[in-house]
Amino acid sequence: MPVQVYLWLLAIILPTWAVLLPLFRVYSEPTLPPFAQIIRLSKAIGFAWLVMAALQFFINDPSNRLIVLFTLVINYILLVSYRVVLLKITKHAALDVRHVAIVGKGTVAPELARTIENQSAWGLKLIGIFSQAEVRSVLEAGGVDELILIVGRESLSEFTETLLLCEELGITARVVLNFFPHSIARMELHQLDGFPLLSFSTTPTNEALLFVRRILDVVLSGVLLIILLPTVMLVAAILIKLTSPGSILFRQQRCGLNGRLFDMYKFRSMVDNAEHHRFELDALNEMDGPVFKSSYDPRITPVGKFIRRFSIDEFPQFYNVLRGDMSLVGPRPPLPQEVARYER
On whether residue 197 sits in a domain, the answer given is: no
Confidence of residue 319 (pLDDT cuts 50, 70, 90): very high
Q: State the DSSP string of 26-48.
A: SSS-TTS-HHHHHHHHHHHHHHH
Pairing of strands 172-177, 195-201: unpaired
Q: Are residues 164 and 250 in the same domain?
A: no
Would the pLDDT of 32 be above 70? no
Answer with the residue of higher pLDDT: 296 or 185: 296
CATH of the domain at 174: 3.40.50.720
Contact 119, 32 (CB under 8 A): no
Q: Are residues 115 and 234 in the same domain?
A: no
End residue of a domain, out of 39, 61, 92: 92
Q: Are residues 248 and 266 in the same domain?
A: yes
Q: Are residues 102 and 88 in the same domain?
A: no
Q: How many domains does the chain have?
A: 3
Which of 25-39, 105-119, 221-235 comes out lowest in average pLDDT?
Answer: 25-39
Q: Are residues 87 and 129 in the same domain?
A: no
State which amino acid sits at residue 12. I
Contact 341, 289 (CB under 8 A): yes
Looking only at Cα atoms, what is the longest distance across the chain? 81
End residue of a domain, out of 53, 73, 92: 92
**Closest by alpha carbon to 286, among 274, 295, 278, 276?**
295
Q: Are residues 42 and 103 in the same domain?
A: no
Positive or negative CA dihedral for 51, 53, 58, 59? Answer: positive
Q: Are residues 245 and 306 in the same domain?
A: yes
**Closest by alpha carbon to 135, among 108, 107, 163, 154?**
163
List the domain range (segments joined by +) for residue 261. 207-340
On whether residue 107 sits in a domain, the answer given is: yes
Say how many CA atoms lie within 13 Å of 101 toward its Cβ.
22
Q: Are residues 267 and 303 in the same domain?
A: yes
The runs of H, that is alpha helices, within the chain are 7-23, 34-56, 62-81, 87-92, 108-118, 135-140, 160-169, 207-228, 234-243, 302-309, 317-323, 336-340
Q: Return the percentage of the chain with pLDDT > 70, whole number.
A: 72
The pLDDT of residue 268 = 93
Which of 192-196, 293-297, 328-332 comes out lowest in average pLDDT?
Answer: 293-297
Helix (H, G, I), strand (E, B) or coil at 10: helix
End residue of a domain, out of 92, 112, 138: 92
Answer with the residue of higher pLDDT: 143 or 21: 143
On whether residue 167 sits in a domain, the answer given is: yes
Q: Are residues 12 and 84 in the same domain?
A: yes
Q: Are residues 35 and 64 in the same domain?
A: yes
